[in-house]
């Protein structure tokens, strides 16, 4: 079983639609990161959330950390083809202890 469950695993939507992907766990994390990875490349850090209930915005992307610091969501408004990629969440449980989810593979169709 995965420590971090990401859902959905696959998502295909039309350009302009909104979407939300989720990252859930039964463990508490001291911080949580979201990354985007394109095929054949390394993941790129998007954001870090630290405080329970924290909301961060990055242009059309909104990240939220759950109040209990066990889960997080990523909402994309008016998705663009450039948003296509694998979205990974990673939770930190202590020094050097980072666990990655399997990811949500997003395809935005023009």
Partner 1 sequence: SQTIHQWPATLVQPVGSPLSLECTVEGTSNPNLYWYRQAAGRGLQLLFYSVGIGQISSEVPQNLSASRPQDRQFILSSKKLLLSDSGFYLCAWSVGTRVNNEQFFGPGTRLTVL
Helices (H) and strands (E) in the chain — how many of each?
A: 0, 11
- Name the token pair of 69: 């610091």
Chain CA centroid to CA 47, Å? 9
Which of 27, 30, 51, 80 lies at the binding interface for partner 1 (CB under 8 A)? 30
Which of 8, 15, 26, 50 lies at the binding interface for partner 1 (CB under 8 A)? 50
What distance in Å separates the CA atoms of residue 68 and residue 87, rounded to the nearest whole number? 22
Which of 20, 31, 62, 73 lies at the binding interface for partner 1 (CB under 8 A)? 31
Binding residues (CB under 8 A) for partner 1: these are: 2, 30-31, 33, 35, 40-45, 48, 50, 88, 90, 92, 95-96, 98, 100-103
């Amino acid at each position: 079983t995965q420590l971090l469950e990401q859902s959905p695993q696959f998502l295909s939507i039309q350009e302009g639609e909104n979407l939300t992907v989720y990252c859930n766990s039964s463990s508490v994390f001291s911080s949580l990161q979201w990354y985007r990875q394109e095929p054949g490349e390394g993941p790129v850090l998007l954001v870090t959330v630290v405080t329970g209930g924290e909301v961060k915005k990055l242009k059309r992307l909104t990240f939220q950390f759950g109040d209990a610091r066990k889960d997080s969501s990523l909402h994309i408004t008016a998705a663009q083809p450039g948003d296509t990629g694998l979205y990974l969440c990673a939770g930190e449980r202590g020094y050097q202890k980072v666990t990655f989810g399997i990811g949500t593979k997003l395809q935005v169709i023009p």
